[in-house]
Structure 1
C-alpha cells in the first residue's frame, strides 16, 4: 500500500524482490513492512530487498511479538547469518528499525493506522487492518477458520472494508486432509469477506498451476461476486 512517498508492505515473501526494485525506481524513502509471522515463506524476500542496502531509505519492520516466538530484531539477526545468508545484518545500509505491535491496540504509521488480530496458525499469526483517511484494507496472513471468536472479529473487520486480502491456500475439495496446517480455503474466506467491497484470495498452493488457479478463480467469482484470486503484479487503486 503506497501513499505519497510512503509504503506499507504486508509480509516479505519472494514477491518482495521485484517490489523492492519498483520502490527504488519510484524513489520511495519511507517503507514499513508489517509481518504477520516469521515462517520462511513470509520473510524469505528480506535478504534480497534492494532498499535495505540503500542509504537514505528508512525501513521499519513491525510485528506483534506477543503472538510470535521471537522479536523482529532477533528474527532478522537469525536470517541474516550463516548458514542461511553469507552476510550479517551489518550489511544493511538503510536506516533499519523495529517495532513491536503488541503494546497498544492501534499504531500510527505515518498518517495511516494499523490494528492487529491474532489468528490461529502454528507458531502464531497476526491479521492487520490498515486505514488511511477513509480507506481500509484487511490482510489476514495465514489462518485456520475454526476459531469462532477470531472469525467473528475478522468478519466484522471485513464489513464494508475497501479491500480484503485473505489467504486461500486450499480448495474446499482438498482441504480436509490439511486441516492441521493452519490454512483455509476460498469458500470459507469468501464467507468471511462477504460484506467487503472487494476481496482477493492469495497465498496460492505451491503446486497449483495457472490452469488450476483459473478454474478456482471462475468458481470463486461465481460464488462471491466481490471476490477473485489475486495475481502477481496486480495493482488496485482505492
Structure 2
C-alpha cells in the first residue's frame, strides 16, 4: 500500500472568514477565505472553495491529471469565491466530484456555482471549465461512501443554512464544522454528534464571547460562534485536537496569538488554524495499525 493510500492528513489553504484580509498584520495566520484539504485513504477531499482554493489549485499542477471530491458547507460568498479561479477545473483530464446541500430556495450547488460566474459578475462561465465536473445534491443527515472513507453530514445553525461534515476512515475521524452559531442555553446536538471522539475538530470560532455579547455591536444572530464555545464543544465531544477556524477579518496576528494563549489554558490540545499548516492524523510514513494519541502538526 502506498503512503498516499495509508495517510489521513489535513492541509489548511484558507482559514479566514467573511472576506479576504491580506496585509502586513495578517501574515502569520493568513488572509484567504475557507479551504481545507484532507488526504484520506488515497482520496483527496476539498472542503469549501474560498480564496484559499486558488492557492490549492496552484499546488496541484504537479499531480495532474487528478480526481478530487469537493464538499461545500454553503454558498455564502467567502466559501465559493475561489472556485472561478481554481485552475485545475479548467484543464481537461481532471475530474471533480462536487457535493453540496440544496439551498432553502431549492437551488442546487451546481446552480449557485454557475450563477456566480454569469455576466455581469464574472467574464467566464462555468461551462468553459474543461475538467469533468460531477455534481451531487445532499440532504442534511446524508452520508457519502467513498470506498472505505465515509462522510456524515448535519445541519448547522447559520442564516440560509450550512452543512457540517465528519470524515471517518479506519477508526480515525475529523469534523469540519464552520459557519455555525451556538445556542444560548445548550450545546448543539448535531455539532456534538459530528465531533464525537474525533481526532480533529475544526470549528467556527469567529468571535470572542465579549464580541459576541457586545452591548454596542452584538453579533448574536450573525451565524458564527466563539472560541469559548468551541472549547465547550471539544470537551463535551471528547475530541483529541481542537482547531479554531474562520478567523474574523478584524482579528490581526497579535490578537489571534492572544486568543490562542487563552484557549490553550482551557483546552491544551488547541491550535489556531494558519494557512500552510498540516495536521497529520495518520502521517504518510505511519501504518494505520499504529496507535496515534494525537494529531501531529507540521508547518
What CA distance in whole angstroms lies between the structure 2 residues aligned with 1:66 and 1:81?
A: 19
Q: Higher helix fraction: Structure 1 or Structure 2? A: 1
Q: State yes or no: 1:75 paired with 2:118.
A: no
Q: What whole-Å deviation, never above 9, does each CA across 1:152-195 have from its counterpart, x for those lacking one? A: 23223323201110011001111111011010000101110121
Q: 1:193 — aligned with what?
A: 234
Q: What SS is found at the alignment partner of 1:127? A: strand
User: Is the CA contact 1:67–1:118 (under 8 Å) kept in the aligned structure 2?
Assistant: no
In the TM superposition, what is the alpha-carbon distance from 1:58 to its structure 2 partner? 0.6
Q: What SS is found at the alignment partner of 1:236? A: strand
What CA distance in whole angstroms lies between the structure 1 residues aligned with 2:276 and 2:229?
A: 25
Q: What SS is found at the alignment partner of 1:196? A: coil
Q: What SS is found at the alignment partner of 1:37? A: coil
Q: 1:181 — aligned with what?
A: 222
User: Is the CA contact 2:49–2:82 (under 8 Å) kept in the aligned structure 1?
Assistant: yes
Task: Please report the TM-score for the alignment, with normalisation by the length of structure 2.
Answer: 0.75
Q: 2:262 — aligned with what?
A: 219
Q: What SS is found at the alignment partner of 1:180? A: coil
What CA distance in whole angstroms lies between the structure 2 residues aligned with 1:215 and 1:171?
A: 11
Alignment of 1:83-94 (within 5 A): 83-94=120-131
Q: Pairwise CA RMSD of aligned residues?
A: 1.9
User: Is the CA contact 1:60–1:97 (under 8 Å) kept in the aligned structure 2?
Assistant: yes
Alignment of 1:54-65 (within 5 A): 54-65=91-102
What are structure 1's unaligned runs of at least 5 residues? none
Of 53, 56, 62, the residue aligned with 1:19 is 56
Q: 1:135 — aligned with what?
A: 172
Q: Which runs of 4+ in 1 moved over 3 A?
A: 66-69, 147-150
- Structure of greater relative contact order (alpha carbons < 8 Å, 6+ residues apart): 2
Q: What whole-Å deviation, never above 9, does each CA across 1:57-107 have from its counterpart, x for those lacking one? A: 111210121657510111121012112210111210100010012187311
Higher alpha-carbon deviation: 44-53 or 95-104 = 95-104
User: Is the CA contact 2:154–2:163 (under 8 Å) kept in the aligned structure 1?
Assistant: yes
In the TM superposition, what is the alpha-carbon distance from 1:27 to its structure 2 partner? 3.5
What CA distance in whole angstroms lies between the structure 2 residues aligned with 1:196 and 1:104?
A: 21
What CA distance in whole angstroms lies between the structure 1 residues aligned with 2:246 and 2:153?
A: 19
Q: 2:250 — aligned with what?
A: 207
How many aligned positions are there?
238
Q: What whole-Å deviation, never above 9, does each CA across 1:102-140 have from its counterpart, x for those lacking one? A: 187311134311111101110101100111222111111
CA gap 1:186/1:149 in 2 versus in 1, 3 angstroms:
closer
